[in-house]
Amino acid sequence: MKLYKYYLLAIGIIALDQAVKLLVHFNMEMGTPGEIDVIGDWFKLHYLLNPGMAFGLKSSHYYGKLLLTLFRLGAMVGIGYYMYYLYKREAKAGLLWCMGLILGGAVGNVIDSTFYGVLLDNAPAGSPSPWFHGQVIDMLFFPLFDGYYPSWVPGVGGNYFLFFSPVFNIADSSIFIGVVLILIFQKRYFKNKDNTSTINQPNAAEAEDEHKEVIIS
């Protein structure tokens, strides 16, 4: 299979990710007031700006966002080259598809971090520059379960709680799926060709003995 097909997958992920993010930005109100129920209380669209890492994680360092964006840019280039390297090494197609998912997700979030601070004016207040400080748009929300603490619990009795349910986007999902599939199928994807080529082959001593038997007989 040609290498370009794996890059096309990455481009498709980028296009879908950016289209959904822009639709959310221009058509949804941020936070709980603009929340849209997709599948009851199990799946919702929740517009959230993430100034840090994936799944709502953040960095408190003043230049943390800049360093994260630069790291993402480097990782994006590295992943793109690694796909080419794997293809030349005749890696399994499944591994290349996974790398395409990871590359597409990485680029999708890099676009937000690099340009959205300028194009969408969503850089956090006090940022050194809007460039490379754009906030990533998240919207996919799967509340696992929520409720109220029992009244007898000291300090929090009767308070509402929501079990850890990060808000994320298509780029995050693409990276997560790619990494999980690689972990699941790592033995298949990284099988040593030299080892597999010698399976069921007799060793040198056995082959020599068989040759002597043939000559004597």
CA distance 23 to 11: 18
Mean pLDDT, to the nearest integer, of 92-113? 96
Asked whether the predicted pLDDT for residue 33 surpasses 90, the reply is yes
More confident position, 99 or 150: 99
Is 102 a residue whose pLDDT tops 70?
yes
Could you state, in order of their start, the residue ranges of all structural domains in the chain? Answer: 4-216
Question: What integer is the mean pLDDT of 24-38?
Answer: 95
pLDDT at 14: 98
Inform me whether the pLDDT recorded for 25 exceeds 70.
yes
Supply the pLDDT for residue 159: 75
Task: Determine the average pLDDT of the residues in 75-89.
Answer: 95
Is 172's pLDDT higher than 60?
A: yes
Regarding predicted confidence, which is higher, 76 or 155? 76
Q: Which of 17, 138, 146, 209 is catalytic?
A: 138
The pLDDT of residue 202: 52
Q: How far apart are CA 13 and CA 11, in angstroms?
A: 5
Q: What amino acid is encoded at 107 in this protein?
A: V
Among 112, 172, 194, 209, the one annotated catalytic:
172
Range with lowest mean pLDDT among 6-10, 49-53, 79-83, 196-200: 196-200
Report the greatest alpha carbon distance in the chain: 92
Catalytic status, residue 37: no
HSE, side-chain direction, 13 A CA sphere, residue 19? 6
Position with higher pLDDT, 145 vs 20: 20
pLDDT of residue 67: 82
The three-class DSSP label of residue 63 is coil
Rounded CA separation 5/117 (Å)? 32
Looking at per-residue pLDDT, the higher value among 198 and 189 belongs to 189
Report pLDDT for 210: 53
pLDDT in tens, 111-166: 999 999 999 999 988 888 899 989 999 999 988 766 666 777 777 677 765 665 78
For all residues of the chain together, what is the average pLDDT? 83
Q: Is 138 a catalytic residue?
A: yes
Query: Which pTM value belongs to this model?
Result: 0.78
